[in-house]
Amino acid sequence: MTKILNVCNLKKIYTSGSKELTVLDDITFSIEKGATFAIVGPSGSGKTTLLGLCAGLDKLDTGSVALCGQELSELNEDERALLRNQKVGFIFQDFQLLPTLTALENVAVPLELQGVSQATKDAMDLLTKVGLGNRYDHYPSQLSGGEQQRVALARAFSNKPDILFADEPTGNLDEETGEKVIKLLFDLNKEMGTTLVIVTHDLDLAQLTQHILRLKGGKIMANEITTVS
């Protein structure tokens, strides 16, 4: 199987004055194209830092990350941004919708920036898929948390990403709403054949994926294959 993400001997150190804090230490793993993958661990274990490095949002200290066949350390900031725009989708705990844009605009604008000729139609189709076909003209402040995350889902899949990173996607949602959002996430992921990487402290959510990487204190404690097919 093709590896869409290959991480080797990754290390991340933050320096504060004369002190050094090792956030990630000798992280090595890979993810096959089309797989579902969870990164779990307690607060402070390095989960979100690892996601940022894997997605090219942050720079590596040592080690290597190959994302969609490209070594991130060999790309400059503009090249990494281009790779993300073309190949990567993101979902965040706090939704990160633009408050001055409607639900439709939040999904359509990224498509327009990529030069998609039917951006509005594609955005409407995606919002309909996530159950918001009657909420196109609503602003984020007029939507519930679950509705905002569904808009974020539609936006994340709008560029048909090869890989999607979801950072605590249900962290700001109640249990029932979170379950609905996760079902939509997995359904869209399966439909589009995307590789899904979820950072979560929710072990029940992690068990829905095919692989679980367990972190503690910046180190890998386990890399497990689950029973999910």
The answer to whether 53 and 213 have CB atoms below 8 angstroms apart is no
Which residues are CB-neighbours of 81 under 8 A, at least 6 positions away? none
pLDDT band per the 50, 70, 90 thresholds, residue 18: confident
Region 80-109 average pLDDT:
93
Region 26-34 average pLDDT:
94
In this structure, the strands spanning 19-32 and 3-16 are: antiparallel
One-letter amino acid for residue 160 of the chain:
K
Partners of 7 in beta bridges: 29, 65
Q: How many domains does the structure of the chain reveal?
A: 1
**Tokens representing residue 150 in the block:** 């569904």
Residue 149 CA to residue 56 CA, distance in Å, equals: 23
Residue 206 CA to residue 86 CA, distance in Å, equals: 27
Residue 35 CA to residue 229 CA, distance in Å, equals: 10
pLDDT band per the 50, 70, 90 thresholds, residue 1: low
Which residues are CB-neighbours of 125 under 8 A, at least 6 positions away? none
- Find the domain containing 74 and state its range: 3-225
CATH, residue 204:
3.40.50.300
Residue 79 CA to residue 133 CA, distance in Å, equals: 35
Which residues are CB-neighbours of 206 under 8 A, at least 6 positions away? 38, 40, 198, 200, 212
In this structure, the strands spanning 219-225 and 211-216 are: antiparallel
* Chain segment 144-175, per-residue pLDDT in tens: 999 999 999 999 999 899 999 999 999 888 89
Give yes or no for residue 189 having a pLDDT over 70.
yes
Alpha helices in 114-218 (DSSP H): 119-129, 145-156, 175-192, 203-206
